[in-house]
Amino acid sequence: MSLRINTNVASFGIQNAMAKSERSIENSMKSLSSGSRFAEISTDPASKAISEDLKSDISGMQVAKRNAEQAGSFASIAEGGMAEQSNLIIRMRELAVQASSDTYSDTERSFMQTEFSKLQEEVDRIAQTSSFGSRKLLDGTSKDIDIQVGTKGDANSRITFSADTDTTLSGLGLSGMTVDDKSNARDALEALGGGLDKISMQRSKYGALQSRLESVQNYLSSSIENVTGANSKIADTDVAKEVSDLRKNQILQQYQSSLLANANDQMSNALRLIA
């Protein structure tokens, strides 16, 4: 076998192969430690671009879901306030029924009126103070609201809700009512029935919004899960494959080290013979 004295060609070839194995080992280690196939920027750029688009979609859907959750809280606060108002008006109507009967004296009606007035104040207080952030919910000042529940700018990606709800005493037609005499109490009965109907209508509107928002949240949760799964198949490290490649390249590197040692020994022997 001929030996080239000036240039150890075998040694150079083995060193190049060892460098390639070392890079493969480093790439496998990076992929395993990061959990991403794209630990190296040069790895499958087309798939990486798809993965980035999917991550953007996931992020957008997560924000949209939070929007729906916040809107659900908004609707829940409004509905809860109206539920309490409804209970108060039911008690006011009970007092009006009592005061409409001649079985009660004027003195007893005056006690009823005292409670009736306190209930009126509480109904109005709830309407004036129920809020979500800086937005008043039940005083009639809130207008239409847009709830962004999608990742696009079209109408299908948002819900527009008419939030102009007025359950103040005047809004319900309950201002100025009294039960201090039989005639006024009977008039109050009609108005209180109408007030309850208005609140029931508004509560049904908010209930429908809550139901729709729950459906939106369920849909977004499912979509986030599905897209995350799709992205995982593209971007996540195949642990079994990377571990196998790592072991293979480590064994190969050990073998190459042995070959390099033999090649260097041959060169050393040749030089000794010449000397």
pTM: 0.70
Query: What is the separation of C-alpha 72 from the centre of its chain, rounded to a whole number of angstroms?
Result: 12
Asked if residues 28 and 253 have their Cβ atoms less than 8 Å apart, the reply is: no
Cα separation, 217 vs 75, in Å, equals 14
pLDDT of amino acid 29: 59
Look at the domain 59-235 and name its fold: f41 fragment of flagellin, N-terminal domain (1.20.1330)
Distinct helix (H) and strand (E) counts, the chain:
6, 4
Alpha-carbon distances of 89 from 115, 172, 199, 208, 247, rounded to whole Å: 12, 10, 10, 23, 77
The predicted structure's pLDDT at residue 38? 59
Strand partners of residue 160:
146
| Distance set, CA 133 to CA 136, 164, 203 (Å) | 8, 16, 20
pLDDT at 30: 61
Domain boundaries of the chain, sorted by first residue? 13-35+238-274, 59-235
Predicted confidence at residue 244, as pLDDT, reads 64
Position 34 scores a pLDDT of 55
Residue ranges in the chain modelled with pLDDT below 70: 1-12, 14-15, 17-18, 21-44, 235-246, 249-250, 252-253, 255-257, 259-261, 263-275
What is the per-residue pLDDT for 204? 96
